[in-house]
Amino acid sequence: MGTLARETLTASCDTPRVPRKPRQLESVSFRPDGLTPVTDRMAQLAIAGDGWINLIPRMSQEDDEKPTSLGFLTLFGGGAPGVTMCTWIPGAKDHNSPTQASLGIAHVTGHRAVAELAARSTAVPRTWLVEQDHPFRGLVLRIPPDESNEQVLTWALRAVRALGTPRPIRGWRADVYLPLSS
C-alpha cells in the first residue's frame, strides 16, 4: 500500500508542459521633443498592468537593429549591456494590493547612481522611492501613481544621459514589450 500511495502522489504532481506565449515587440524611434508615441504605449501597458518598455539611447546605426533583452547575468549578476539604458514597468493590481510602476536604470558607472545623478543636476524626485541603488546591478525606483508618464519619461531620458558615456545621443528607441493577450 505504501508503494501505491507513493506512485499516486508522484503522478498527481506531474504537470504537463505549457508552451509559453512569446511577447510581441514593438520598436518606436523617438526624440525628447516628441514623447507622445511612447507615453501612449505607457498608458496602454498601465491599463493592462503588464508588459514593459526598454529605453535605449541611439548612438549609432547599429543601435536600431538589435532589440534589447535583459538576460540572467544582467538581472542577477550585474552584467550590464555595455550602454546605460532604462526599463519602465507599469504598476499592477495584485491580489493583496496594487504595486507602483517601477523604473530601472542599468548603468556602467561602477558606483551608486543616486549621488551621481544629484551631482549632475538630475536628482531623483523626492516622492519616488529608491528600491535599489547598486554599483553593478543598477538603480530601481518606484514611481507614485499620480506621476504623469511624460514626467517619468522626461526624467528617465535625462538620467540615462547623465549616467551614460559622453558619446552624443542621436535619438532614442523604445522597445515596447506588449501585454500578453488573455
The answer to the question of residue 122 being in a domain is yes
The answer to whether 23 touches 178, Cβ cutoff 8 Å, is yes
The answer to the question of residue 81 being in a domain is yes
3-state class percentages of the chain: helix first, strand second, coil last, to nearest 5:
30, 25, 45
The answer to the question of residue 7 being in a domain is no
The answer to the question of residue 16 being in a domain is no
Q: What was the pLDDT predicted at 75? A: 40
Q: What was the pLDDT predicted at 165? A: 75
The answer to the question of residue 9 being in a domain is no
The answer to the question of residue 39 being in a domain is yes
pLDDT in tens, 14-24: 666 766 778 89
The answer to the question of residue 57 being in a domain is yes
Q: What was the pLDDT predicted at 79? A: 42
Q: How many Å separate Cα 49 from the centre of its chain?
A: 13
Confidence category of residue 135, pLDDT binned at 50, 70, 90 = confident
Strands (E), the chain: 25-30, 52-58, 85-89, 101-106, 129-134, 138-143, 171-177
The domain tally of the chain equals: 1
**What's the CA dihedral at 157, 77, 82, 140 to 10 degrees?**
10
pLDDT in tens, 15-66: 667 667 788 999 999 999 999 999 999 999 999 999 999 999 998 665 555 5
List the domain range (segments joined by +) for residue 142: 23-177
Residues 6+ apart with CB under 8 A from 61: none
Q: Give the highest mean pLDDT range of 101-115, 122-136, 163-177.
A: 122-136
Question: Is 60 exceeded by the pLDDT of residue 11?
Answer: no
Q: Edge-to-edge, what's the strand order for the sheet holding 85-89?
A: 25-30, 171-177, 52-58, 85-89, 101-106, 138-143, 129-134
The answer to the question of residue 31 being in a domain is yes
